[in-house]
Amino acid sequence: MCKPTTTTTSEALPPPDARLFLATVKDFGEDEYGRTPTVQARLFTIGVFVVFLIGVEQLCRQILLANVDFHPLLENETNRHILARHVGIDFVSAAVVSYFGFNARHLTQDMIDKHLRGKKNAMPKTYENRLFQYHPESARIILLFIGYQVKNSYDTLVWNDGALFIAHHILAFGTAWGALFPGAAHYYAPFYLGYSEISTAALCLLANFDDDFGVRGLAAAFPLTKVILGAIFAVSFIVCRVIIWTTHSVYYLQDVIACLKTDDPRIVGRKPWLQFTGFSLSLLSLLQIIWLGEIFLTGKRELEAMGFL
* Side chain identity, residue 263: D
What are the pLDDT tens digits along the chain (309 aa)?
444 444 444 457 888 877 899 999 999 998 888 889 999 999 999 999 999 999 999 999 999 999 999 999 999 999 999 999 999 999 999 999 999 999 999 999 999 999 888 888 888 888 988 999 999 999 999 999 999 999 999 999 999 988 888 888 888 888 898 888 766 899 999 999 999 999 999 999 999 999 888 999 999 999 999 989 999 999 999 999 999 999 999 999 999 999 999 998 888 888 888 988 988 888 888 888 888 888 888 777 777 776 767
Q: How far apart are CA 134 and CA 112, in angstroms?
A: 20
188, burial (CB in 10 Å: exposed 0-12, middle 13-18, buried 19+): buried
The pLDDT, as a whole number, for residue 2 is 45
49, burial (CB in 10 Å: exposed 0-12, middle 13-18, buried 19+): buried
* Number of other CB atoms surrounding residue 250 within 10 Å: 11
pLDDT in tens, 229-248: 999 999 999 999 999 999 99
The pLDDT, as a whole number, for residue 11 is 58
pTM of the model: 0.90
The pLDDT, as a whole number, for residue 178 is 85
113, burial (CB in 10 Å: exposed 0-12, middle 13-18, buried 19+): middle
Q: How far apart are CA 85 and CA 83, in angstroms?
A: 5
Which H or E run contains 8?
none
Q: What percent of the chain has pLDDT over 70?
A: 94
45 in Cβ contact with 20 (< 8 Å)? yes
100 in Cβ contact with 144 (< 8 Å)? yes
Q: How far apart are CA 87 and CA 166, in angstroms?
A: 20
User: Which alpha helices (DSSP H) does 85-222 contain, by range?
Assistant: 92-103, 109-116, 128-132, 136-158, 163-179, 189-192, 198-207, 218-221
183 in Cβ contact with 132 (< 8 Å)? yes
Nearest alpha carbon to residue 195 among 281, 288, 99: 99
15, burial (CB in 10 Å: exposed 0-12, middle 13-18, buried 19+): exposed
